Structure 1
Amino acid sequence: MIDQAKDKLPGLALAAVCAALAYAISLAVPLLSAMLIAIFIGIFIRNIGWIPQVAEPGMAVAGKTVLRAGVVLLGLRLSIPQVLELGWGVVAVITLTVAGTYVASLALGRLMRLPHAVTVLTATGTAICGAAAVAAMSAVVKGDDNESVEEAAATAIASVTLFGTIGLIVVPWLGQAIGLEPNQIGVWIGAAVHEVGQVVAGAGIAQNAQPDSQVGAMLVDTALVTKLGRVVLLAPLVAIIGAIEASRHLHRTHPDGSKTPVVPYFVLGFLAMVIVRSVTNLPESVTNGVNTIATILFTMAMVAMGSGVRLKKLASTGGRALLMGGITGIVSALISLVGLYVLV
């Protein structure tokens, strides 16, 4: 057991060092997600041959166990009562946006004849919460024949990061231009922009345009809570798709005789953390610390995902996948905007 743990240390150390580098670059250039940078670092070191054989076991752990630990901790960001305080109209907008965007994305991916994993992961990242959602779904999705889930995840993360960044600039400006109320702008940003960090940035742009500082602060809070309402739906979506994927591939039993649970254990852990946050009043220092740890774990996992990417193979579907990400980003914005006019 000890020897097995030692075998994994070099790869985990390499992933940690690369994650620290990605995090430092993100601090210097805030518009660049640390997770996206980590993906590219992983791709770079893989394709120039900088990953020694001794690091492979640890990289595999970073791409699976470390990733799932990050998903579990992500649950402590979410308080269900806080989401419900937005009102049932906003909850309906969140649900409609997630469901409509996901279904439309699947249909578009099939229409464009994109590989299965690319389609599912791009749909998940666009509908839920960008890179973190792609990472969570990548733990249960199964690729088509000869399709690498790591390469599909890298493509999906690049797509949702790019169009989420465009969205954080366009949505606040467009909300002002079409005359939405500050509360509606906050809901729209939270429902239409992909990453949590991008939502915070977009809400900050909208806040600066408000003459009343108190109204601006409420806009930011509304945007963030709306976004976290979308994240709440990550667990049921991963559980449903995980069951479908297991059934589709008939892989419910492992070679050692154990069975794959219908609901993955890390999803149950995520839900447990949501419940803890919803029924307790955790100190802000605790939640901030957990968020930081979750970000570090996700960033390490993204290095491992990037290290599974072979550029020559990725080039064959990358362009079409980016096109899909752009179209589905627009679909998400339109569904949430229509929902705002009808329900809020």
Structure 2
Amino acid sequence: MLETRLPAPARLSPLPGLALAGAAAGVALAVQAWLPVLGATLVAVALGFAAAASGRLPDEARPGLRVAARQVLRVGVALLGLQLVVSDVVGLGWRVLLVVAAVVVLGILGTLLAARRLGVPEEQALLVACGFSICGAAAVAALDGVRRNRAEDVARVVALVVVCGSVAMLLVPLLAAALGLPRAAAGAWAGASVHEVGQVVVAGGLLGGAALQVAVAVKLGRVLLLAPVLAVVAARSRGAAADGARPPLVPAFVLAFVVLVLLASTGLVPEPVLAAAGHVQAGALAAAMFALGCALDPAALGRTGRPLVRLAAAATALVTALGLPAAYVVG
């Protein structure tokens, strides 16, 4: 008896999805250049959500969108290291650095504690804690690179961190003016409390003067702690995983992030290379955020329960309060 063999299904190429994510990233960056208050992350997530809500995303695009949401995102996080110069962060002084460390450590611990009281699952709580305390959507997605999470959870937390960070971006300058803070001090507060790097740039620009430079330096101090936090989470996840399914102790993209931080700190990388890498990094993160937005369908957004929204609001308030001392210790 002859055995009938069916042809194996053709493997879909990731190129259509990557091309779609790249085009969306270009639109997001163009909108940001035209209207900086609308950051590329916010625009990219909104475009992804709109594409998902339309119901017209072709199946051919899905493999490439998965690549953009993971591998391209990791490239963006790694290249973020080239924006960090350790001497600039250290130059802020030990008191500011202590506040930065407190924002990250106490922000994460406080958010996890609040999550227990609100009944938010640990997987979602950790995404919120790291995203809101370190560097927004990039930290949320980077955490997904070291600890597997449901795509729906990642997309929902990314949406929340973008929305809450945008509120903080506008609110901190208003509160700083009400408190009568000098511009540099207000910039330090913005850098210590606003979620996204791009949002910090907007907040610093709204404050004017020396605020922008101080805000970015303080924010990059928080970003610098992304690597050790990811390493700790990876170690915990590795210990909890079943035999044979353990992830690497320190993922390759985290090592690349650290190496690029050290490389940038030597001062040997030419400015044109740093500028080009910055454009690639911004494009990679925007493409990844679009892909994550595509995972946020209307039904998933509707299932975002009140406890998770309340946790996001509580984490924003906590990080904003923890960052306020930076305004009074900045040199």
Report the equivalent of 1:188: 189
Report the equivalent of 1:267: 254
Report the equivalent of 2:47: 41
2:247 corresponds to 1:241:
no
- Partners of 1:107 and 1:156 lie apart in 2 by 17
2:277 corresponds to 1:276:
no
Q: Answer whether contact 1:94 1:191 (CA < 8 A) is retained.
A: yes
- Partners of 2:35 and 2:265 lie apart in 1 by 33
Give 1:293's match in structure 2, choosing from 276, 280, 289: 280
Equivalent position SS for 1:262: coil
Kindly state the Cα deviation for residue 152 of structure 1 after the two structures are TM-superposed. Answer: 1.8
- Partners of 1:205 and 1:114 lie apart in 2 by 35
Q: Bigger CA drift: 44-53 or 13-22?
A: 44-53
RMSD, aligned α-carbons: 2.3
The Cα offsets for residues 270-316 of structure 1, whole Å up to 9 and x where unpaired, read as: 00000001112433332222111111111111222222234323322
Report the equivalent of 1:253: 244
- Partners of 1:70 and 1:287 lie apart in 2 by 14
Kindly state the Cα deviation for residue 200 of structure 1 after the two structures are TM-superposed. Answer: 1.6
Q: Summarize the Cα distance change of 1:6–1:155 in structure 2 as closer, same or farther, 3 Å threshold.
A: closer
- Partners of 1:169 and 1:152 lie apart in 2 by 26
- Partners of 2:247 and 2:147 lie apart in 1 by 13
Percent identity reads 36
Give 1:225's match in structure 2, choosing from 217, 224, 229: 217
Report the equivalent of 2:310: 323
2:6 corresponds to 1:15:
no
Query: What amino acid does structure 2 have at the position aligned with 1:268?
Result: L
Query: What amino acid does structure 2 have at the position aligned with 1:70?
Result: G
Report the equivalent of 2:295: 308
Give 2:120's match in structure 1, choosing from 114, 121, 125: 114
Q: Summarize the Cα distance change of 1:39–1:82 in structure 2 as closer, same or farther, 3 Å threshold.
A: same
Query: What TM-score comes out, normalization by structure 2 length?
Result: 0.89
Report the equivalent of 2:101: 95
Query: What amino acid does structure 2 have at the position aligned with 1:170?
Result: L
Query: What amino acid does structure 1 have at the position aligned with 2:200?
Result: V
Report the equivalent of 2:89: 83
| Gapped regions of structure 2 (runs ≥ 5) | 1-9
Equivalent position SS for 2:13: helix
Query: What amino acid does structure 2 have at the position aligned with 1:273?
Result: L
Pairing 1:140-219 to 2, within 5 Å after superposition: 140-143=146-149, 148=150, 150-207=151-208, 216-217=209-210, 219=211
Query: What amino acid does structure 2 have at the position aligned with 1:321?
Result: L
Query: What TM-score comes out, normalization by structure 1 length?
Result: 0.86
Q: Report the count of equivalent residues.
A: 322
- Partners of 1:183 and 1:126 lie apart in 2 by 23
Give 1:63's match in structure 2, choosing from 39, 56, 69: 69
- Partners of 2:178 and 2:291 lie apart in 1 by 42
Query: What amino acid does structure 2 have at the position aligned with 1:186?
Result: G
- Partners of 2:296 and 2:172 lie apart in 1 by 32
Q: Answer whether contact 2:188 2:326 (CA < 8 A) is retained.
A: no
Q: Answer whether contact 1:75 1:274 (CA < 8 A) is retained.
A: yes
Equivalent position SS for 2:130: helix
- Partners of 2:173 and 2:268 lie apart in 1 by 32
The Cα offsets for residues 135-162 of structure 1, whole Å up to 9 and x where unpaired, read as: 211212334xxxx2x2222222222222
Equivalent position SS for 1:282: coil
- Partners of 2:95 and 2:257 lie apart in 1 by 26
